[in-house]
Every structure is written in structure tokens, then in C-alpha cells.
Chain A
Amino acid sequence: MSMNTDKAYLLGLIIGGGIFGDAEDIFRIRLPFKKWGSYLENSQRAGQISRDIMNVVSPMFRNIYNLIVSFEATENIWNILCEGDTTALKTDLENYGIPCDGEVRANADISKICVDLVDDNLKRRFIAGLADSIGSMAKSQRRFTDDNQILSLEIKGHNFNFVCELCRLLHDINCIPDQVNWNHPNIHCTNDPYYRTWNKQFKLRILLDQYARFGAFAFRTKAESSNENRELQQQTHVAQPCPEQRMNVTPSCVHPDENNMLLPEQIRGGHYIHYRHFCAVLGCEHAPFDKVSSQFSRLGELVIPFVIQCKDTISRINTIIANDPLLAQRNYTDVSVSVSSLLTQFQSDSNGLLYGTDSDNGYPINEILQTTAYIVADSNELFGKRPKGYIEIIKRHIQNDPNLSVLFRKPDLLTPLVIVGNERGALIGAVNPKVYEKLITRSPDNDFKLIVRPITEEDLRDA
């Protein structure tokens, strides 16, 4: 059966949330609505979601695939249950190269479907299915303030090509994504290689104004949320084409899970300096290749082979040091450092470097001050491990005790500086561009893919 607008919508729903189990005559579409769809949080919305399923999805499934739809709702997840002879649907999916096994989006290659989405309307219907299933407009999705409302397509797994294809499809209908948070340690753990829970999900984020103008929802609940969120904005926003968007690149640390086998070969083993760097490596025609290349001249500043900043208990910090031979084999000199002197140095030059061997290396004072705030803070001044306003915390504590000091453990080479106090500890990586740039090479099969070899004691001694 050929593609049509209703089938495009259903395929979007299935690829967004479809899960196939062993049973031949049933599958489900999981809608990960979390709090947004919880009947405990908003019973009116939950009621409308059930109407959307029965009024929009059910008749379409009945008509296109002769399947009977029902649903079940737990506190955080809705499941659309599709029962009947699934042969026609599975045949369609298999013809499109979509395996009907487990979570569809985990392994889906939508390139064959995209070929059949021959015009913008079909593309829009397919995307509407995805947006209804995995499009989140929860408050946490906004960018900084209520004035930048976002629709985030949330995709589990490690299917980078799927996200890239989807991004292309969104471009085709002028829903230019605002940002792509790739499911990769360089995106989810830019500062701390010891933070291992990088494996979250992809987030394809689109300005809600842009989506409202060019995209679509079939669920009334989604359309209502879109309108409610857009009303919070003071102005309307227009997305810029990818090559024209600003690319602000900040240093990121090398993470051991860059080599994780969960990552596809095309991505695995590479270090990525910005989310748009992934677009270039994946060969997306919308990638800002020139802007990515221009950053390659300062890779020594951008790629840090150590931790940038790690805050934890002193025992955890000691364990980290003990487990890394390069850190464990250092000679450390203990220095008691006055917190007020650190603040003075920060105020005179917030980009300053301490304890370097050269003018362009050393430990960044701004990182030191942030972690010092963590060390000296009272528990109620922390949000997890994050100080609530680090400058204010420092000033408050100096006011209470002008002689306040913290203990620095300075290594004999420019491996991470250790700061301890108050049963807490922190590691601060050094800036050392001349040494770091020697560790970086380009992949022989992809000129945009950066390979970073591990740093050695010799690298640091030879500097």
C-alpha cells in the first residue's frame, strides 16, 4: 500500500513510541508524557489525552490497518495498545526497513520512509506523529526563560543517523532545529569525565514559534500546550538556518565513554567540541562546516584531556586520584590558600591562570573560585553539588571569617589541582594548549572527526 497522509502520521507515532514484543497480534505505542500527562497532576489534560487517543488515533488505525486501539495510563506513561492482525502494518514497516522488534526508534532507519514522504504535507504529517508521541513541551524545555519556548523531540538510544535524518526532515518543512543535544558524553558530561551517567537521550529542540508556524499536532492536548507556552513569550522567534546560527564553543573534557561500544562506529572514538560538530561528522548538508573547521585552529584550548571541574566528597576525590596512575604518581605540595586572595585575583582577571609554567598554562581562577565556593558552602547554599551563586557564597563566608582558607594540593606536573576542605574535595584541570594540541589528530576516514590520544607523563614533562 502506498504512502498517504494518515499513514505518514501513524508511522510517525509508531517510530516515536512503538514497541513490539513477542505477541503477534498486539503492539503498543508508549507516550512518555511523564508529569505533563499525569492524571494526578492535571486530570483535565489526562482526560483530553484519552479523547485524543480515541478520536484521532483509534479511527485512523482502524481505517488504515484494521487494528483496534485501546489505552492504559500509569502515573507517568501512557500506552496506546493496538490489537488485531498486525501483518499489514509489519509488512509496511519491514518494506521501509524498520525492524518490528523491541523499541522501534532504537534501531529505526527512516531514510526509506523519507523517500516516500514526497511533499511537505506528508513530511508534516509524519512529524506530527512524532511530535504527538515524543514531543515534550514541559517547562524544563524552555531556553533560559519563559520567553524562549521549545518543543523537544526526545529520543532514547544511540541512533545518531535517525536523529540526523529527522533533523533533515524538519529542515525540509522549515522547522529548523534550535539545538540538538546528542546522546553522547561530550554533550551530557562536558566538564567531568568521572560522571558516567551521560547515557540519557537525544533531544532535538525546536523553537515552538517555528514549529507552530510550519509543523503540526494532531493531539489537541499538544496543540493546547503549544499555545499556552507560546503565550508566555513576550515576542515571537524565528529560527535561523544552521550555517548562520552562532556557534559558541567552550572547552570540553575527554570522556572515557567516547569509546563506548553503544555508540555507532561513525561516532565512536571521536571527541566533539560542539553539538554542531556532530552534524559535520555525520555529513549533514546543513552543518556549519566552515564554522566547525575554524575552531580546529585552537583545539589545544578546547579539548582538555583531564577533568575540567569535578566536585565531590573528599573520599570520592581520593578514590579518583588513586585509580588514575598519572594522578596517583604525582608529588603533591599542600598549600593553604586564603579565599579572599582568590577572590581578589578573580576580580582583577576572571580569565587568569594560577600555578602555570608558562603564560598560557595553569589552573583557571574562575574554575578554582567555583569549586572553592562548593568547598566552603553550607549545605543550604548548595543545590546538589552546585553552589547557589558562587561569588555571593564566597563573599558571605569571607565576611564571616576574613582569614578563611582552603587546602590546595598542587601536583608536580600540570595534572589536576586538588582542593579540599569541609569533608569535600574538588579537581580542577589545567589549561595547557600547547601540550593538549599534540594529542589531537584527524580520523583518516572523516576529516571532521577528532581523535584524542591519552595524555602521558612524558607529554607534560616535555612541555
Chain B
Amino acid sequence: MRNEKSYYTEIKKFIESQLKSNFTASNKRELYVFWGIGELKKELQRIINENPAKCSCATKFAERVPPLSLDIFALITDGAKFELLILEVKLVRSAGLSEWSQLVGYCLVSGAKYGLLVNIDNGGSPRLTQMLHTERHISNIQTTVNDTPREHLLGFMQWNSYTHNFEYSNLGSVKSLSELSNKLASDFSSKKLANP
């Protein structure tokens, strides 16, 4: 019987390849995706130390981020700007509000702009589905921290472990990996600082 951690590798591989392809297609340059599993602060430091040329843009962020234990996260960068993507991976019959709340909490505490709740081979509860359909503010969260506005965009997707593909639920503010790619492309091409 597989546990949720055993799916991390295939999910990471798929997301990374889609994001990189889409970024290359739209921006005609390379995107770098570095994965961390477990404690955010330490893992970020490790990634930056191992890849200083590409990840030094995240140094200040890594210094001020609080210690936080996560399933998986990705530091996504074009070398000049970066964004953080948090994945909350579940292997449950039906992902509900508690799993969504967990993702929201992680994104708020860490400052990550993007978060995906991923349920393996199953969808979301009727309650979560309904709320994500009708309550836009729970997937597009605007906050102000130290007078700086922050935006958190969250989505919910299903991982099909048989086909090794995502099945989109069209729920939340990140409805597909191509939409996430578009947002990242926009973040990295805009003049303002993309990351918090």
C-alpha cells in the first residue's frame, strides 16, 4: 500500500516539466525549479547554498521566513526573481476544508504566493467544492504584512497516479498548471518585485 510520500517524486517531476516547458514556450528563456521537502527555512538555505547563481534572489526571503514543516515546496526562479509554490499532497477519499485550511495556513505563514492542494486519485468534498466555486476570497487571499500587500493564489487538483497526469478540478484561483505558468511568466516579466 503506497503512502502519500511515495507519490512526491512523480508529482514533482510532472509539475516541474510542465512549468519549464510553458515558461520556455512563452518567455523564450529557462525557468529553474528547486524542490524542498520538510522544513522550509533549512531547505531554502540548502537550495540557495547549492545554487547560489540562480537562487541568491531568495536569500533575504529565506532569512526572514519562519521555520515551517511542509510536504513539498518549490522555489521557482528565472535567476532574477523567484516565487514559492507550496504543495499540500493528500491521499484521502475526499479532500475537505481541513486540508484546504492547512494549505492556506502554510501560505500565509510562509508568504508563498502559490499553493496547490493535490489529492491523489480522488477529488474534493462537496463542501470544499461548493466553497471554492462560490467564495473566491478563500483561494485568492490578499493580506498586508508590515505595510506590504501580499497575494496568495491557491488551487485544487487531482493527481491521477495511473496516467501520471493532473486532472483539473477548475477550483480555486490556480485552475491548471498552464494558468500557474502564465502567472509565473507574468510575475517574472513584470518590473515590480514578484516575490514578497
Cβ of B142 < 8 Å from any Cβ of A? no
Q: What is the interface size of chain B, counting residues whose CB is below 8 A from a CB of the partner?
A: 25
Q: Across the interface, do B176 and A6 meet the contact criterion of CB distance under 8 Å?
A: yes
How far does the Cβ of B26 sit from chain A's closest Cβ, in whole Å?
4
How far does the Cβ of B97 sit from chain A's closest Cβ, in whole Å?
21
Q: Across the interface, do A223 and B178 meet the contact criterion of CB distance under 8 Å?
A: no
What are 14 residue pairs bridging A and B, where the CB atoms are less than 8 Å apart in the complex?
A: A3-B26, A4-B22, A4-B25, A5-B178, A56-B165, A59-B176, A63-B168, A121-B18, A122-B25, A125-B21, A216-B165, A217-B163, A220-B160, A223-B162
Q: Across the interface, do B170 and A118 meet the contact criterion of CB distance under 8 Å?
A: no
B132-172 CB mask vs A (1 if < 8 Å, else 0) is: 00000000000000000000000000101011110111100
CB-contact partner of A60 in B158, B162, B168, under 8 A:
B168
In the complex, A6 Cα to B163 Cα: how many Å? Answer: 15
Cβ of B102 < 8 Å from any Cβ of A? no
Q: Across the interface, do A59 and B168 meet the contact criterion of CB distance under 8 Å?
A: yes
How far does the Cβ of A276 sit from chain B's closest Cβ, in whole Å?
32
Query: Told that A119-B20, A220-B162 touch, could you supply 7 new A-B pairs with CB distance under 8 A?
Result: A2-B26, A59-B167, A59-B175, A118-B21, A119-B24, A119-B25, A121-B20
Closest A-chain residue to B27, C-beta based? A2
CB-contact partner of B169 in A2, A4, A6, A59, under 8 A:
A59
Q: Across the interface, do A118 and B168 meet the contact criterion of CB distance under 8 Å?
A: no
Cβ of A7 < 8 Å from any Cβ of B? yes
In the complex, A119 Cα to B178 Cα: how many Å? Answer: 15
How far does the Cβ of B187 sit from chain A's closest Cβ, in whole Å?
16
Which chain A residues lie closer than 8 Å to B179 at the CB level?
63
How far does the Cβ of A51 sit from chain B's closest Cβ, in whole Å?
9
- In the A-B complex, list the 4 residue pairs whose CB atoms are closest, starting with the nearest: A59-B168, A4-B178, A6-B178, A121-B21
How far does the Cβ of A45 sit from chain B's closest Cβ, in whole Å?
14
* Contact residues of A between 75 and 131, Cβ < 8 Å to B: 116, 118-119, 121-122, 125
Cβ of A224 < 8 Å from any Cβ of B? yes
Which chain B residues lie closer than 8 Å to A216 at the CB level?
163-165
Closest B-chain residue to A123, C-beta based? B21
How far does the Cβ of A443 sit from chain B's closest Cβ, in whole Å?
39
Q: Across the interface, do A64 and B25 meet the contact criterion of CB distance under 8 Å?
A: no
CB-contact partner of A59 in B21, B170, B182, under 8 A:
B170
In the complex, A318 Cα to B154 Cα: how many Å? Answer: 76
Q: Across the interface, do A63 and B178 meet the contact criterion of CB distance under 8 Å?
A: yes
In the complex, A6 Cα to B21 Cα: how many Å? Answer: 11
- Asked, given contacts A5-B21, A118-B21, A119-B21, whether A218 binds B163 with beta carbons under 8 Å apart, the answer is yes
